[in-house]
Amino acid sequence: MVTVTININGENRTATVPPETTLLRALRDNFNLPGSKLGCDVGDCGACTVIVDGKPINSCLMLAAQADGRKVLTIEGLASMNGVHPLQRAFEDCASLQCGFCGPGVIMSAKALIDENPDPTIPQIRDALGGNLCRCTGYVKMIEAIQIAARVMRGETAEVNR
Amino acid sequence: MACMWYPIGFTVAANPSSAVVKMDEDGTATLLTGTVETGQGSLTILAQIVAQELGIATDDVVVVSADTDATPMDTGAIASRTTYVTGNAARMAAEKVKLMLFDVAAPMLGVKPHQLEAKDHKIVVKGYPQRNMHIADVANHARVVTGEPPIGSASFNPATVALDPETGQGKPFGTYVYATQIAEVDVDDETGEVEVIRMVASHDCGTPINPMLVEGQVEGGISMGVGFALQEEILFNAQGVQINPNLTNYIMPTSLDMPEIEVDIVDNYDPTGPFGAKGVGEPTLVPTAAAILNAIYNAVGVRITSLPATAEKVFNAIQAKREAEPKQITA
């Protein structure tokens, strides 16, 4: 067993887990954060995407022990007491998700992109979502929502206007 | 380019949907339906239909769905049928509620029930909008004074005529939808690789009750169609065991594979549908692969007759075509 301490969504959390435990399993089973989804478990689908030290990663491919001492942001860390994150708001207003299973991963990939590049082009957005599979939407309304959220986060528009 | 028509509901076989609508004393309504929401937005559509019939807001309709013990029977979210079949049942159930409210309101407003309409949360005398009652007051009166709680139920099963086994004649479906999709592709004639650059999709789904959801269905259908046309293939070994049962080598479209999509909703009206609506589900992906393969023919002159049109197939077809053509000797 290994004991890990991870800063998850701004809070230090500690758990003792078998060494082969992935970060995804630890988030879902030990830290009670089931927002990150278990899809393929081999890094193909991106439904488990979380942000570790500013970079989007597949949490099914990282061991919980590798995340020890790092900062992890999950979908649960986006909304605040003031409401949902601009990305979540834009995804809702644009009907960007259908079944929604890929949603947490897509939104975390988008968050990592906008944090690094506040004014992404459509090809840059497509590139950032390249590791997130979606079977329902054709990605069209996700790309639209990410552009809108980026505008809101840059302070150019207060509201999500489709 | 490819055109298609597609039926809504089952082929002749019964595929009913039932619905129960009740109006509460606060002017909100509850819809009970057996259908299930899978993300396509069908419960939003049903709430919109009930709201439109009762003259209230979509937010004022609470939808209780998919509890097979407690909700009325529905054949299911299949066959592109929910908006048309379940939507008709929901509209008819809401209409019954509305007529009950008219019966209660008519004597209070001093008119006959058929002179009333429901709009803006009110029961209104047609042509005299100042003569009205709030729908909540009417619903409450129906409950506590006349003793006729406004509750309606209805079932809808598309009207069909069985196919004659000898002539094939009949009317197997309640309604049909129509679509045309146009693909613009870039084919690399040295490698056979095909890139879909742009898709334009024109769909007649009757009245688009929620155009944003129609767009979502079309865009999603096209992504499945692009995969069907160019990428997705279940491969088996000699023993019949699938050799690509994972997303590593069963290749479905990513955001990088998707073309630019332009959705053109052809506003139409089907008198048999709820407020003229038909449906949009499976039809969105029916013409996509055909349009892409026709575009490949238009680009490089080869017909690919099996799916998916992988780079290997397209390359081999281009090579075969070149070998069959007489050699051109340059001067």
CATH number, domain with residue A117: 1.10.150.120
Per-position pLDDT tens, chain A of length 162: 999 999 999 999 999 999 999 999 999 999 999 999 999 999 999 999 999 999 999 999 999 999 999 999 999 999 999 899 999 999 999 999 999 999 999 999 999 999 999 999 999 999 999 999 999 999 999 999 999 999 999 998 866 555
Q: Is A36 helix (H, G, I), strand (E, B) or coil?
A: coil
Q: Which of B216, B254, B256 lies nearest to residue A137, judging by beta carbons? A: B216
Q: Is A159 domain-assigned?
A: no
Q: What is the pLDDT of residue A32?
A: 98
Cβ of A134 and B247 within 8 Å?
no
pLDDT given at position A159: 62
Tokens of B107: 């004597």
Domain C-terminal end among B156, B190, B221: B156
* Chain A residues in contact with B261 (beta carbon < 8 A): 138, 140
Establish if A51 touches chain B: CB-CB under 8 angstroms: no
Report ipTM for this prediction: 0.94
Do the Cβ atoms of B219 and A133 come within 8 Å? no
Q: A45 CB near a chain B CB, below 8 Å?
A: yes
Name which of B180, B207, B155, B186 is nearest B263 in CA terms.
Answer: B180
Q: What is the pLDDT of residues B86-138, one digit of tens each?
A: 999 999 999 999 999 999 999 999 999 999 999 999 999 999 999 999 999 99
Picking from B232, B247, B248, B255 by the largest number of A CB atoms within 10 A of its own CB, the best residue to mutate is B255
How many structural domains compose chain A?
A: 2
- The tokens for B306 are 């099996």
Name the residue type at position B262: E
Q: Could you say which of B125, B156, B187 is where a domain stops?
A: B156
- Its pTM stands at 0.94
Sign of CA dihedral B220, B221, B226, B227: positive
Torsion of CA B125, B130, B134, B140, to 10 degrees: -60
- The answer to whether the Cβ–Cβ distance between B258 and A138 falls below 8 Å is yes
Q: Is residue A90 domain-resident?
A: yes
How far is Cα A8 from Cα A30, in angstroms, rounded to an integer?
Answer: 12
Phi-psi region of B80 (alpha: psi -120 to 50; beta: other; left: phi over 0): left
Supply the range of the domain harboring residue A123: 86-153
The verdict on A42 and A70 lying in the same domain is yes
Q: Do A121 and A62 lie in a common domain?
A: no
Task: Tell me the shortest Cα–Cα distance from A120 to chain B, in angstroms.
Answer: 15
CATH number at residue B243: 3.30.365.10
CA A32 to chain centre: 16
Q: How many domains does chain B have?
A: 2
**Inter-chain touch B223–A138, beta carbons under 8 Å:** yes
Is residue B282 annotated as part of the catalytic site, yes or no? yes
Assign B328 a pLDDT band (cuts: 50, 70, 90): confident
Those of residues 60-119 in A touching chain B at CB distance below 8 A are 94-95, 97-100
Q: How far apart are CA B285 and CA B265, in angstroms?
A: 15
- pLDDT tens per residue, range B268-317: 999 999 999 999 999 999 999 999 999 999 999 999 999 999 999 999 99
- Whether residues A63 and A108 share a domain: the answer is no
**Active site residue: B184, B193, B215, B282, which one?**
B282
Residues A19 and A70 grouped into a single domain: yes
> Which of A11, A43, A77 corresponds to the end of one domain?
A77
Q: Average pLDDT, stretch B194-215?
A: 97
Residues A103, A138 within the same domain:
yes
Query: pLDDT digits over A17-54, tens only?
Result: 999 999 999 999 999 999 999 999 999 999 999 999 99
